[in-house]
A = this chain, B = another copy of it.
Amino acid sequence: MRYELYYWPGIQGRGEFVRLALEEAGADYVDVARGSGKLGGMAAMTRLLDSAAEERPPFAPPFLRAGRLLIAQTANILLFLGARHGLAPSDEAGRLWTHQLQLTIADMVVEAHDTHHPIASGLYYEDQKREALRRAEDFRQTRLPKFLGYFEAVLERNPRGPGHLVGARLSYADLSLFQLVDGLGYAFPKAMKRRARRYPEVMALHARVAKRKRIAQYLASPRRIPFNEDGIFRQYRELDA
When distances are taken between beta carbons in the complex, the residues of chain B under 8 Å from A110 are: 110
Bound together, the chains give a CA A118 to CA B73 distance in angstroms of 23
**Pair A138/B120 contact, Cβ less than 8 Å:** yes
Residue of B nearest to A55 (CB): B157
Interface-central residue, A58, A69, A119, by most chain B CB under 10 Å? A119
What string of 1s and 0s marks CB contacts (under 8 Å) between A125-156 and chain B?
Answer: 00010010011001000100001001001100
A116 beta carbon closer than 8 Å to chain B: no
When distances are taken between beta carbons in the complex, the residues of chain B under 8 Å from A128 are: 134
Give how many A residues have a beta carbon under 8 Å from the other chain's beta carbons. Answer: 45
When distances are taken between beta carbons in the complex, the residues of chain B under 8 Å from A76 are: 96, 99-100, 103
Instruction: For the complex formed, measure the closest distance between the CB of A6 and the CB atoms of chain B, giving whole angstroms.
Output: 14
What string of 1s and 0s marks CB contacts (under 8 Å) between A95-121 and chain B?
Answer: 011011001100100100010001110
**Given known A-B contacts A55-B158, A158-B55, A100 and B120 have beta carbons under 8 A apart:** no
Instruction: For the complex formed, measure the closest distance between the CB of A211 and the CB atoms of chain B, giving whole angstroms.
Output: 27
What string of 1s and 0s marks CB contacts (under 8 Å) between A167-180 and chain B?
Answer: 00000000000000
**Pair B93/A69 contact, Cβ less than 8 Å:** yes
When distances are taken between beta carbons in the complex, the residues of chain B under 8 Å from A134 are: 119-120, 128, 131
Bound together, the chains give a CA A131 to CA B147 distance in angstroms of 24
A-B contact pairs, 17 of them (CB 8 A): A56-B154, A57-B154, A59-B107, A68-B93, A69-B92, A72-B100, A72-B104, A73-B99, A76-B99, A76-B100, A76-B103, A118-B131, A119-B131, A119-B135, A120-B135, A120-B142, A122-B142
- A residues near B (Cβ < 8 Å) are 52, 54-59, 68-69, 71-73, 75-76, 79-80, 92-93, 96-97, 99-100, 103-104, 107, 110, 114, 118-120, 122-123, 128, 131, 134-135, 138, 142, 147, 150, 153-154, 157-159
**4 interchain residue pairs of minimum CB distance:** A120-B138, A73-B103, A59-B104, A73-B100
